[in-house]
Structure 1
Amino acid sequence: MRLLPGAEPYAHHGSSTGVLLCHGFTGTPHSLRPWAEHLADRGLTVSLPLLPGHGTRWQDMRHTGWADWYATVDRELRELGRRCETVFVCGLSMGGALALRLAARHGAAVAGVAVVNPGVTFPSRAGFLLPVLRHVVPSAKGIVSDIAKEGVTESGYDRVPLHAAHSLRALQRLVRTELPRVTQPLLLMRSAEDHVVAPGDAALVRSRVSSTDVTEVLLPSSFHVATLDHDAERIFQETDAFITRLAPARDKEDSP
């Protein structure tokens, strides 16, 4: 199956500090590629997989669900753990929810979590209708490219398959119950204006995790896909500083 432009997974072999990046629902690695490349340029080992059902046609996503998406990032995390001494997880939107679940379930195997506009709730009215509506209406209007920066678009689907949306809702419900198990240092970055994720999701994450080391960063000039927006460089710099602070000293010495 032919991939959408920019949907290719990305990997870089670098130091003994690894970073796993998780893209969002109906999106592709394209939205996180600049973030991944920045970390690779810093000498880190980086993995940015393409989630099942993504990056081809929205119809393909109807046959996948949260267990498939999570299994992919779980497998990538375990692979990084075999090759690296220290591993961080990062994510955007649903990718943020996946990253938080990885942290909750893998404990000390994850050194820190950096998320941008993590999506952990589903619109209540739409969620109430989904169980029935998904059997009647195959898809709804897409959510990609919520970007303030003029001329920038995100590679992803222009339709949301409702079977997959129903599965996303189940994932979010599960992640909310597991947030207290997140104890790792957390870098929580949120846009001042977001037309995809509810305004209170970041606050909900912060209030429920058990992390004592939490840094919250406001992204004043970006919409949902902030990793491609005006505040992208701020995200990259904050993540770099976060990892540098927490990674072993020998990796810091090896960084360019």
Structure 2
Amino acid sequence: MKFRNSTKPDLHLAGMQPDHGFHYPGGPTAVLMIHGLTGTPAELKFVSKGLARAGFSVYGVQLAGHCGSEADLLATNWQDWLDSALAAFDRIRERHETVFVGGLSMGALLALLVAAHRPQRVNGCVLYSPTLFYDGWSIPRISVMIHLAILLGFGRFLRFRENYPYGVKDDRLRARILAAMESGRSEEAGLLHMPGRSLGQLLRLIRDLKRRLAGIRTPALVLHAREDDVTSVRNASYIAANIGGPIEKILLEDSYHLITLDRERELVTDHTVAFLHRMERARPSALPAFPQSERVAS
């Protein structure tokens, strides 16, 4: 099936809720954007529009079980979320020879898994606030015990409300996001609560990715806020130290977890555009123009 030239490509799985994905036409090179757990494609629209203005065609996928109710999410597992991302990538690849994959939070992990499953087809990964460990400054100290309880099978009894500051440093934006979550508009701002069983599925996804990370040779860019309230810089550092391919790590100084929406969203867009252009210029057989490195955003 080919994509329509619209903002609503048919990326959803049969039987799921209406699709809230998007498509911003821009050029022959494509970028697939993947949102996070309990999140929504809207998290990535600002950056995606910037990429389209820079000449890239950008597609945002709605993962299975998302943009609906908690019951919708609980009806899916991590393999369903990965299948959503792989199906979207395969359809985009039918139209575009060069395809990059980006993602926010869990979406960054799924971007890496797409690269692991399509090693000769993904041209690069863009990783926004990757979430391997819930260890940010807003996360309760008992989170380690909670993770252990989930792994032991008690996740069905747990349910977690999002914590202040909800991944956003900008006060006005945070207020809008919280109002949307509290009113139940999950297609705009995601769910206010995370079911323990869904967190358990994320832990299984993380375990699978860690086993594959050293074998991923796809060039990558990772952007992470130094003050991330949900996932510390340790997450970006772990990926940079363990991935098998070249990676550049950039730290942001004025954002929290949702860097694609927060105060430095324009800077995030600029760094992404620069990375994509570098990868386009690189010869297929050559290494990209950067070594493993770390920079502070400016």
Of 112, 115, 119, which aligns to 2:131?
Answer: 119
Q: How does 1:79-158 map to 2 (within 5 A)?
A: 79-121=91-133, 123-130=143-150, 131-137=152-158, 139-142=159-162, 145-153=166-174, 154=177, 155-158=189-192
User: Do residues 78 (structure 1) and 90 (structure 2) align?
Assistant: yes
Question: What is the SS of the residue equivalent to 1:91?
Answer: strand
Aligned equivalents of 1:132 and 1:64: distance in 2?
17
Deviation digits for residues 127-146 of structure 1 (CA, Å, limit 9, x no counterpart)? 10113332333x22125931
RMSD value over aligned CA atoms?
1.9
Letter in 2 for 1:232: R
Task: Give TM-score, length-normalised by structure 1.
Answer: 0.89
2:81 alignment counterpart: 69
Alignment correspondent of 1:30: 42
2:195 aligned with 1:161: yes
Matched, 1:205 2:239: yes
Find the residue that maps to 2:86 and give its secondary structure.
helix
Structure 1 letter corresponding to 2:280: A
1:92 aligned partner, one-letter code: L
Q: 1:35 to 1:75 in 2, by over 3 A?
A: same
Is 1:230 aligned to 2:263, yes or no? Answer: yes
Task: Work out whether 1:49 is the aligned partner of 2:61.
Answer: yes
Instruction: Verify the 8 A CA contact 1:62 1:162 in the aligned structure 2.
Output: no
Q: 2:204: which partner in 1?
A: 170
Give, as a single letter, the amino acid of the residue that structure 2 aligns with 1:181.
G
Shift of 1:22: 0.6
Task: Return the alpha-carbon distance in structure 1 between the equivalents of residues 92 and 235 of structure 2.
Answer: 29
Q: State, as a whole percentage, how many aligned pairs show the same letter.
A: 28
2:157 touches 2:196 (CA, 8 Å); kept in 1? no
Higher relative contact order (CA 8 A, sep 6+): 1
Does structure 1 conserve the Cα–Cα contact (< 8 Å) formed by 2:156 and 2:195?
no
- Structure 2 letter corresponding to 1:75: A
Segments of structure 2 that go 5 or more residues without pairing to the other structure are 1-15, 135-142, 178-188, 283-298
Q: Structure 2 residue aligned with 1:11, among 11, 23, 39?
A: 23
Q: CA deviation at 1:248?
A: 5.4
Aligned residues: 244
